[in-house]
Amino acid sequence: MAKSAEQAAAPAYVIRRSKIQGRGGYAARAIKKGERIVEYLGQRISWAEADRRYDDTKVKRHHTFLFTVNNRTIIDAAFDGNDARFLNHSCDPNCEAIIEKSRVFIHAMKDIRKGAELLYDYSYARDKNTTEEDEKLYKCLCGSKSCRGTILEAPKKKKKVSAHHTASRHTAKKQKKTKGDGRKSGSSARR
């Protein structure tokens, strides 16, 4: 998305105290949906180096500026990082992180009014070993109505498996009859 002369001249955001956590980024001007706001910068390191630098098992409160780029590279904004590291998490974000050619950019998901805090969903990865203690360590403070209580990604929803597919056991003639709600007789569709 091309920036107007006004957008190019005015910074998109400023850093100040946040009611969510520490410092946060706030729109210094109106930001349009789809606008690239900032690149997330910092030292590029390996997973092994990230584990060496930050041992979550030894802290009571999680706090890092790590951003996963791919299965080999992490950006650590605590080293050579920019102000993008201060953008806070929300379960109801107005921004999103987009990875393009191993670079991370923060884009507006919707129009953002001047003065609004810039927020994106950190969506920390879960795995089969994620515990209740992890949920507490990665506690969310966003306060949104849709807050899931953690900065971990939302748990994967298990697909509902229907007990049977009745349509496969009926003849085509019976399937053409409809019920009062418009569904075909013998269908296992659910609403």
Q: How far apart are the C-alpha atoms of 105 and 103, rounded to whole Å?
A: 7
For the stretch 138-189, pLDDT in tens is 889 899 999 999 999 988 776 655 444 434 344 444 444 434 433 333 333 3
The neighbour count for residue 108, using CB atoms within 10 Å, is 23
Domain formed by 5-137, architecture: Beta Complex (2.170)
Residue type, 77: A
Q: How far apart are the C-alpha atoms of 105 and 34, rounded to whole Å?
A: 11
For the stretch 149-158, pLDDT in tens is 999 998 877 6
Q: How far is CA 170 from CA 26, 162, 175, 187, 188, in A?
A: 60, 17, 7, 9, 12
Q: How far apart are the C-alpha atoms of 115 and 146, rounded to whole Å?
A: 22
Domain boundaries, the chain: 5-137, 166-191
For tokens 């105290």, what's the residue? 17
